[in-house]
Amino acid sequence: MARIHSIYRYPIKGLTPEPLARVALTPGQTVPGDRLYAIENGPSGFDPAAPAYLSKTHFLMLMKNERLAALHTAFDQDSHVLTITSPSPQWGEGGVRAADLSVGTPSPQPSPRRGEGIRMSELVRADLRTKAGRLAIEAFFRRFMPKELRGPPKVLHAEGHSFSDVARKVVSIINLASVAAIADMVGAPVNPLRFRGNVYVEGWPAWSELDLVGKELIVGAREERDRASPLPLAGEGWEGGAPVRLRVVKRIVRCAATNVDPDTGLRDLEVPQALMQNLQHADCGIYAEVVEGGEIAAGDAIEIL
């Protein structure tokens, strides 16, 4: 039976994913705290008082700004404090040295993308709920990637709004077997986090998720499961709670962001091109709306209705 392997959210669009042991889903909403903030790359016309969907091209993002992968960010959901660190001594052309940006001294900190115990330099820490905090983050990005900015960077947020790649509020689901199939296509390992999904699933045949549009998924029976798998496990499985129901609404068309290694920031693969050459489409993953809410966790069984 197919099961949830791991769960992630992305508090700041284009920045570091946050693994979740379990999460409560609400009908008609995204994963809580997902794409809660975005960094505007030049004036976009976004109005926090009347938030509306804008395409990802208005924001800093991996598709165009792979330099972002050189950063490790940690976001506190309670305090809205964003901390940006980096293991890189320099960023090369188009950016400045970490030493010129650092506000603290290097200290050993674990990184979910780079392994445990790597020495990280804290570059900036700020409360995004305050004007001073937002200005500090904006000033950091002005120094960090000046050649990639189309105008002043600006931290955007609006209550209840998610800066998703699609207008409707959805949960993104990635089939790990399809990711393995892409690795065979390109002849190299593929980190599943290239696809920046919310829910990673194991146990489905490769590409079978693409046939689920219009169908519903029941996420229920939680059990302890094997840890030996391609992604770090976000948490132990557990028993209890009512099943959650999702309706699959759309296939995900992949963009050039998947060409960027989320650990190194190198644009080292051509994922959409490989999909087009082998499958005549560039789809990998699906979007689903939450129909009946509740908690989901790693290890939950997934049934197709």
3-state secondary structure 58-82: HECCCCCCHHHHHCEEEECCCCCEE
**Is the pLDDT at 108 greater than 80, yes or no?**
no
d(CA 45, CA 59): 12
Angstrom distance (rounded) from CA 265 to CA 71: 9
What three-state secondary structure class fits 56? Answer: helix
Query: Could you report the per-residue pLDDT of 17-49, keeping only the tens digit for each?
Result: 999 999 999 999 999 999 999 999 999 999 999
Most confident of 65-79, 106-120, 270-284: 270-284
Per domain, the residue ranges of the chain are: 3-29+166-304, 38-156
| pLDDT digits 0-9 by tens, 111-154 | 344 444 456 789 999 999 999 999 999 999 999 999 999 999 99
Query: What tokens appear for 98 in the block?
Result: 């970490």
Burial of 72 (0-12, 13-18, 19+ CB in 10 A): buried
Of the pLDDT bands very low, low, confident and very high (cuts 50, 70, 90), residue 276 is: very high
What gap in Å lies between CA 19 and CA 112, rounded to an integer? 8
pLDDT at position 88 is 54
* Mean pLDDT (whole number) for 4-25: 96
Give tens-digit pLDDT for 82-96. 999 987 554 444 444
The average pLDDT across 212-220 equals: 96
CA distance 5 to 22: 11
Q: Helix, strand or coil for residue 253?
A: strand
pLDDT tens per residue across span 223-247: 434 443 444 333 333 344 578 999 9
Q: What is the pTM of this model?
A: 0.84
105 has a pLDDT exceeding 60: no
CATH 2.40.33.20 fits 3-29+166-304, yes or no: yes
Share of the chain above pLDDT 70, in %: 82
The percentage of residues in the chain with a pLDDT greater than 90, rounded to a whole number, is 75
Residue of higher predicted confidence among 87 and 284: 284
**pLDDT (tens digit per residue) in 164-190:** 999 999 999 999 999 999 999 999 999
Which band of pLDDT confidence, cut at 50, 70 and 90, is reported for residue 100?
Answer: very low
List phi, psi (to 5°) of 72: -115, 125
Q: Does residue 192 sit in helix, strand or coil? A: helix
- Nearest Cα to Cα of residue 60 among 121, 194, 150: 150
Give the Cα separation of 172 and 19 in Å (integer): 14
Residue type present at position 230: P
